[in-house]
Amino acid sequence: MQESFEKDIISYVMERNVYLVVTKTDTPFAKLLRTFGHLHYNHCSLSLDKELSRMYSFARTKKNTPLLAGMVHETYDRYRKMFDGKVDCMIFELPVRQDQYDWIESEIQRLRLDKSYAYNLYSVITQPVTGGIEVENAFSCIEFVLHILSGLGYSFDRPLTSYTPDELAEMFSPYQIYKGNLLRYPLLAKQKDPHYYDKVRIKDIHDSIKEFGVISSRTLRSVMKKRRR
């Protein structure tokens, strides 16, 4: 009994690390966001390991289907083939307790399995003007990362939609461990992504239209609800 209790205590206090990654990606959509938002970085992710082999975010699921987006596992392959050898990034190492690490794992798994979650498209494209739009069961990349950080006890004095990757980098600058080309990060796991570059199929077009309708409807409901307050 005593031995079991001691193991539980050790597991509770044992320190682990998670990693915040902010990146400058060069898709046309990303360039548009940086231009109108006056940003250097436009994307952020969270990794459960230093090698970034377990890195997650909210983003497009395939290269050529920008409207088909949601919770994704990001890999080296996704960045290597798409951005011509250079992806500006900053990486931050945050210490967490074992129980917090376990919660992050379970929350990521919950979000991956819950297909009702969508990419918060309208919040992202209107953010420079509106400060973003909170939509039920929808996250942008920054909202996802801040949602996880909120669950760890970090507090933010503005709606999560109103923050940018540049602000995230500034807030966590004391934890920076790397700045430079993501593809030259010494510990980067060289993972493949066999489906990210697949050709667009009829089903992808159908799913994109459906996803666009879902997020449009949810966003409209959110805006109308806010106006009635």
Domain count, the chain: 1
pLDDT digits (tens, 9 = 90+) for 86-134: 899 999 999 999 999 999 999 999 999 999 999 999 999 999 999 999 9
Who's near 101: CB < 8 A, 6+ residues apart? 16, 18, 48
Beta strands at 69-74 and 55-60: parallel, antiparallel or unpaired:
antiparallel
Tokens of 228: 């009635």
Which strand (E) or helix (H) includes residue 19? strand 15-23
Total-model pTM: 0.90
Tokens of 40: 């250097």
* Residues spanned by the domain of 57: 2-228
Instruction: Quote the distance between the C-alpha of residue 100 and its chain's center.
Output: 18
Q: Does position 9 have pLDDT exceeding 70, yes or no?
A: no
Tokens of 149: 């950080």
Q: What's 81's domain CATH number?
A: 3.90.1720
% of residues, the chain, pLDDT over 90: 72
pLDDT digits (tens, 9 = 90+) for 178-222: 999 999 999 999 888 888 888 999 999 999 999 999 999 999 999
Which strand (E) or helix (H) includes residue 176? strand 176-181
